[in-house]
Amino acid sequence: MRHASIALHSASCTSCMLCVRECPDWCITVSAHTQDDPSAPAYSNARRPSQTKVLDAFTIDFGHCMWCGICLEVCPFDALFWSESALPEPTERDALVLDRDGLESLLPGARRSDGSAAPQLGDPPSGRRKRQ
C-alpha cells in the first residue's frame, strides 16, 4: 500500500508516550489528563476510583516526519496506521503539523499491515486497550 500519511485512531490511544519518545525526529507531541474512569466496574472494596488518561492533544509534524514507521511499530495499542489518504495540501509551513482532528481525517485510507481497513472514527479500540 502507499504510505501517504499516518492516521491516528484516538480511541485506541492511551497516552503512553512511547511514540513520542521513540520518534527519531521528535515529530510527535502528546498531552493528556487523568480523570476518574466512568466505564470501570465499581468494586466495593476499592480505596479510590479507577482512573484513566484522556487524550487532549496529539500532533505529528509531517514537515519533519521521515516516514520511518517507528511510531507505528512501537505503539502497544495499535493506534497509529499507515494511510493512503493524502496529507492536506499546505499553504504554509504550519499546515504540515496535523492535530488530532487532522490525523483522524486520514483514517478512511488507513490500513493495517494485513491490508484490512483500520478502525474508523467511532469504532471501538481493537488493539490491546481494554477500556475506552
Binding site for other proteins (CB under 8 A): 15, 17, 20-24, 26, 28-34, 53
CB of 80 to other proteins, least distance (A): 15
CB of 77 to other proteins, least distance (A): 14
- Residues in Cβ contact with 98 at an 8 Å cutoff, skipping those fewer than 6 apart: 59, 60, 62, 87, 88, 106
CB of 128 to other proteins, least distance (A): 18
Nearer to other proteins, 120 or 132 (CB): 132
Phi then psi dihedrals of residue 63, to 5 deg: -75, -25
Nearer to other proteins, 34 or 120 (CB): 34
Amino acid sitting at position 79: A
Q: Cell 486520514 belongs to which residue?
A: 106
